[in-house]
């Protein structure tokens, strides 16, 4: 089984890189992990709606080149479904039981995801109504996927 995380932009903050590296290392006994960073689109602070859509579309095209047709795609979206850690674990378990061995989690850039990426997603997942920096969301997501594997194996994990 392989899980890939496709994200927009390069992480620069050492503390995020270290945290993600730690959880990626912890995941390796359970699953192959691949993290793909696609470049973000340079944009001014103030954008019109049309300009923002254009930025998301350009980033979306880069994201979609990293997703194969047989991948089951989870897109992080504020209007996605709210799941508990146990529900995420259960859904990952179901997918693997029924032969879905390529899972991709997608995190957009600071403006979110394009309609094309959201339409490609098999599941839209939300971590709540609050907005998080996409760099922080990477760390939270990798930790939650690790937690899901611990839950599915019945192994202890701190609360």
Instruction: Give tens-digit pLDDT for 25-80.
Output: 999 999 999 999 999 998 888 889 999 999 999 999 999 999 999 999 999 999 99
Q: Give the pLDDT band (50/70/90) at residue 82.
A: very high
Contact 13, 133 (CB under 8 A): no
**What phi, psi does 45 have (nearest 5°)?**
-60, -45
pLDDT in tens, 98-156: 889 999 999 999 899 999 999 999 999 999 998 888 899 999 999 999 999 999 999 98
- H or E stretch including 159? none
List of residues 6+ apart from 55 with CB closer than 8 A: 41, 43, 47, 109, 111
With a cut of 70, say whether residue 13 has pLDDT above it: yes
6-12 mean pLDDT: 94
**What phi, psi does 47 have (nearest 5°)?**
-125, 145
Instruction: Convert 74-135 into a string of H (helix), E (strand) and C (coil).
Output: EEEEEEEEECCHHHHHHHHHHHHHCCCCEEEEEECECCECCHHHHHHCCEEEECCCCCCCHH
């Amino acid at each position: 089984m392989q899980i890939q995380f496709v994200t927009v932009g390069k992480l620069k903050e050492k503390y995020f890189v270290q945290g993600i590296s730690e959880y990626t290392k912890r995941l390796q006994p359970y699953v192959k992990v691949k993290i793909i960073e696609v470049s973000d689109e340079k944009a001014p602070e103030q954008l019109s709606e049309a300009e923002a859509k254009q930025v998301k579309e350009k980033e979306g095209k880069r994201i979609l080149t990293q997703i194969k047709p047989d991948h089951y795609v989870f897109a992080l979206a504020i209007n996605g479904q709210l799941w508990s850690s146990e529900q995420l674990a259960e859904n990952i378990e179901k997918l693997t039981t029924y032969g879905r061995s390529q899972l991709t989690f997608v995190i957009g850039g600071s403006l979110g995801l394009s309609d094309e990426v959201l339409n490609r997603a098999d599941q839209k997942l939300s971590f709540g109504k609050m907005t998080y920096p996409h760099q922080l969301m990477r760390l939270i997501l990798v930790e939650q996927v690790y937690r899901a594997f611990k839950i599915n194996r019945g192994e202890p994990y701190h609360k």
